Amino acid sequence: MKIDEIASIILRGGVAAFPTETVYGLGALAFNQDAVKKIFDLKGRPADNPLIVHISATEQLQQFSDHIPEPVLSLIKNFWPGPLTLIFKKKPDVPDAVSGGLETVAVRMPAHPLALKLISKTGPLVAPSANKSGRPSPTRAAHVYEDFGDDFPVLDGGETDIGLESTVLDVTSEPYTILRPGKAEPEELQHVCGVSVAYSTKEDTRPPKSPGLKYTHYKPQAKVQWLSDFVQPRNKPVMFITHTEPALPTGENIIHYSFKDDFVQLARNLYDLFRMADQKNIFEIVIEDLPDETGQPLVAALKNRIEKAVG
Ligand code: TXA
Ligand code: MG
């Protein structure tokens, strides 16, 4: 469907999926409570898991927050449009459905030209990843159809560039906290804004800052494990995903994807491989352990998503 038709469906209070540079999002008008509720219903998403508002121009941020800390202006300048979601104190008129009842709101400006064009026609959109809750985020239009059939239209922008969801950074208190690792990494964020940036720790016993963190995500049907924990194939289909050339079992039941130290490609393909494994009734997905210090982007985000799938 064409972008103008999609925009008019959204403007009438409907929903539609669109590509971003990270994953496909399921969009609805941020200030239309009924439209926002449709998203929760379609995804089967718990009502206390808030949504990210997507904007196409920095000025639109004023509609959602008037607490923009000074150092964050340089983050916005350097990282938007791009895969960085910022958590602000919200204005009172931001619908509760958007913020999941929290006092904060998540906002990002996506870098995909089709996303920016769509939002410039509709105004700010909430957009969770366009998958059913508990399924991997979609990196292709076909993934959206796989989960939802023709429940709503999809603006097809081909394969997404990054393949993993945006970094979520809480800037409501210092140090700024990464609630979800992504392509924008702590060192560069800290360097740009001059405020310390830390990963949220598991030891943190306060109520979950990001409600999404308490729900299971990214779990294919196959058992996912690290290569270092893998014992022996049991004559059932196994998918290996590697980045060096380790010795692997061979045989009819073995599928092997090799990424030769290209973590950007691995990130781009991870969710597609998870979905493929489901379709092929793969029994185990075995992923080669990732190195600690690579200096390469996306390794921390990959580790985080794979750990979640390992469970
Ligand atoms: O890359 C992305 O961010 C994609 C694309 C479509 O933009 N969107 C995405 O949305 O991943 P979703 O809804 O699948 O994940 C949003 C995450 C959830 O973990 C949610 O709990 C967290 O952001 N979040 C949203 N609002 C929040 C808030 N006010 N405070 C803390 N965490 C929040
Ligand atoms: Mg999601």
Q: Is the pLDDT of residue 216 over 60?
A: no
1-25 pLDDT per residue, tens? 899 999 999 999 999 999 999 999 9
Asked if residues 104 and 127 have their Cβ atoms less than 8 Å apart, the reply is no
The residue that leads in pLDDT, 283 or 235, is 283
Please name the residue that has the structure tokens 């791009």.
82
CA 186 and chain centroid, separation: 17
- Cα–Cα distance list, 258 to 44, 223, 266, 273, 275 (Å): 34, 19, 9, 12, 17
Q: How far apart are CA 291 and CA 311, in angstroms?
A: 19
213 C-alpha to center of ligand 1: Å? 10
**Alpha carbon distance 154, 156 (integer Å):** 6
3-state class percentages of the chain: helix first, strand second, coil last, to nearest 5: 35, 20, 50
How confident is residue 202, by pLDDT bands cut at 50, 70 and 90? Answer: low
State the distance from the centre of ligand 1 to the C-alpha of 126, rounded, in angstroms: 10
Which one, of 249, 245, 213, lies nearest residue 231 by Cα? 249
Name the token pair of 260. 């030769």
pLDDT at 64: 98
Residue 175's pLDDT band (boundaries 50, 70, 90)?
A: very high
CB atoms within 10 A of CB 216: 10
**Which helix or strand (DSSP H or E) is residue 144 part of?**
helix 141-148
Express each pLDDT in 76-124 by its tens digit: 999 999 999 999 999 999 999 999 999 999 999 999 999 999 999 999 9
Mean pLDDT of 289-309: 91
Which residue's CA is minimally distant from atom 6 of ligand 1?
A: 25
Task: Give the count of beta carbons closer than 10 Å to the beta carbon of residue 278.
Answer: 16
Q: What's the pLDDT at 205?
A: 46
The per-residue pLDDT for 40 is: 98
- Summarize pLDDT for 45-84 with one digit per residue, the tens: 999 999 999 999 999 999 999 999 999 999 999 999 999 9
More confident residue, 302 or 212: 302
Name the 3-class secondary structure at 194: coil
Give the pLDDT mean for 202-229: 70
Q: How far apart are CA 21 and CA 39, in angstroms?
A: 21
Within 6 Å (CB) of ligand 1, which residues are found?
Answer: 20, 22-23, 25, 49-52, 85, 87, 99, 102, 104-106, 110, 127-129, 165-166, 168, 179-180, 209-212
Nearest to 16 by CA among 135, 132, 117, 155: 155
Q: Atom of ligand 1 at shortest distance to CA of 166?
A: 1
Which ligand 1 atom minimizes the distance to the CA of 209?
31
